[in-house]
């Protein structure tokens, strides 16, 4: 499925330009729908958009990106244009993402979490009907994992005592 991003569609969307803001918006959207923020490790994003009423999102980057998720040893390619529909714990009707399985490149059609039986898992379904499930931690950003580890090591927060108001000069 290749989705054409028309001016009419852009008029209904929140659209952002530039890598830094698009990186932030992409990570925020993934987190907002309950998916790991490292799921789309894109580079040099030119444009991103989100139509809230339908859940349609798109990302345009300068060139194709290949990424290896080292914790699971899987290579994934992200086309220059990626489009999908997002909803709570799911990305569906994905275009522009392929995963290598043995010697084949398979088109990823859906990414989902929230299986009550396995809340710490992410499932990837392909257009051929095949699917694979991996630990959610394999797709988290390193800083997210480090931050969580640091939070575990910190002692419980102790509230600071309230500051006393300075005495008025009239009391002298």
pLDDT at position 118 over 80: no
Confidence bin at 143 (pLDDT 50/70/90): low
pLDDT at position 162 over 90: no
Please identify which residue in the block is written with the tokens 């989902």. 112
Query: Is domain 7-148 classified as CATH 3.30.70?
Result: no
- Express each pLDDT in 57-101 by its tens digit: 999 999 999 999 999 999 999 999 999 999 999 999 999 999 998
| More confident: 114 or 157 | 114
75 pairs with which residues across the strands?
68
Is the overall model pTM greater than 0.85, yes or no?
Answer: no
């Amino acid at each position: 499925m290749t989705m054409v991003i028309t001016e009419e569609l852009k008029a209904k969307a929140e659209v952002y330009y530039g890598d830094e803001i698009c990186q932030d918006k992409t990570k925020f959207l993934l987190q907002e729908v309950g998916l790991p923020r490292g799921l789309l490790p894109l580079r040099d994003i030119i444009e991103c958009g989100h139509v809230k009423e339908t859940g349609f999102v798109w990302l345009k980057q300068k060139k194709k990106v290949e990424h290896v998720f080292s914790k699971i040893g899987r290579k994934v390619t992200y086309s220059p244009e990626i489009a999908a529909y997002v909803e709570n714990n799911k990305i569906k009707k994905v275009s522009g993402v392929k995963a290598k399985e043995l010697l084949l490149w398979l088109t990823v059609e859906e990414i989902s979490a929230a299986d009550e039986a396995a809340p710490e898992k992410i499932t990837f379904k392909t257009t051929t009907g095949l699917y694979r499930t991996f630990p959610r931690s394999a797709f988290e950003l390193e800083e997210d994992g480090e931050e969580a580890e640091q939070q575990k090591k910190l002692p419980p927060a102790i509230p600071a005592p309230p500051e006393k108001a300075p005495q008025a000069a009239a009391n002298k």
